[in-house]
Amino acid sequence: MSIGIISAMKEEIQALQKQLKISAKLQKGMRTYYQGTLFDQDVVLVFSRWGKVASATTVTQLINDFAIEEIIFTGVAGAAQMHISIGDLIIGQSLYQHDMDASPLVGQFEIPLLGKKSFQTDQNSRLQMHKATKIFMKEIGQYIPKTSLESLGINSPKIHIGDIASGDQFISSAEQLGNILKQLPDVLCVEMEGAAVAQVCHEYKVPFTIIRTISDHSNDNAHIDFPKFANEIASQFALGIIRNYFDIKFADSNK
């Protein structure tokens, strides 16, 4: 059994891929699935491309074609709340598709036939991911120089656990974000894939965890070099956090 690790951009998992001891590469549906060992654990690594359709297609292929026991999604996201800063980390709890509206047939945000407005991440994995992230925060300097963090305005990044909203829109204006928060006021960040992956994992009964690095504020100032931020910051965050996560997860399983 393997753990599947997905991101929407290759830059977001570049650091993980460099550490991966690759045993096989499989080309499927215009994606490359990298099988191997990462920190002594069997994994399959893949980047899905952007959006809900791309990510749902990727995770479905991953679950059906590989022996996957858990899915982890990682990458960048835009902050949805004023108290959340660039460099903060969001561990997802409930995931919503903010652009799903089949009313009046069903309520807004409800997924037809499933009767659910949101999908929950796996509670135990979420707690382990939180522990792993707290450890990473103490050793962040081992992965990224302080000067590099400060150059991007990252001084003392914080960890948040809460709701994530996904949709096939890049949220880059205060008006767009305001419309989402009117309906989903507790959402901590917005992105384009997480809730779609969460739905597939729910339907296949595969535990799902998601951790996002905040790259912008989802408003009219949301203009950064995303590939650069993903490669230099988010990818390194993912490397350190997942290393700790595996240590915690498999230490707990051996008790």
Question: Contact at 8 Å (CB) between 52 and 168?
Answer: yes
- Of the candidates 11, 12, 163, 193, the residue annotated as catalytic is 12
List phi, psi (to 5°) of 49. 80, 170
User: pLDDT of the chain along its 255 residues, tens only?
Assistant: 999 999 999 999 999 999 999 999 999 999 999 999 999 999 999 999 999 999 999 999 999 999 999 999 999 999 999 999 999 999 999 999 999 999 999 999 999 999 999 999 999 999 999 999 999 999 999 999 989 898 888 989 999 999 999 999 999 899 999 999 999 999 999 999 999 999 999 999 999 999 999 998 876 665 567 788 888 999 999 999 999 999 998 887 766
- 216 catalytically annotated: yes
pTM summary value: 0.95
Distance separating alpha carbons of residues 243 and 225, to the nearest angstrom: 26
List phi, psi (to 5°) of 165. -115, 135
Sequence-separated (6 or more) residues with CB below 8 Å from residue 109: 96, 97, 98, 100, 101, 117, 118, 183, 184
- 203 catalytically annotated: no
* Residue 227 CB neighbour total at 10 angstroms: 14
The domain defined by 2-253 folds into Rossmann fold (3.40.50)
- Of the candidates 70, 110, 191, 216, the residue annotated as catalytic is 216
**Domain chopping of the chain, boundaries:** 2-253
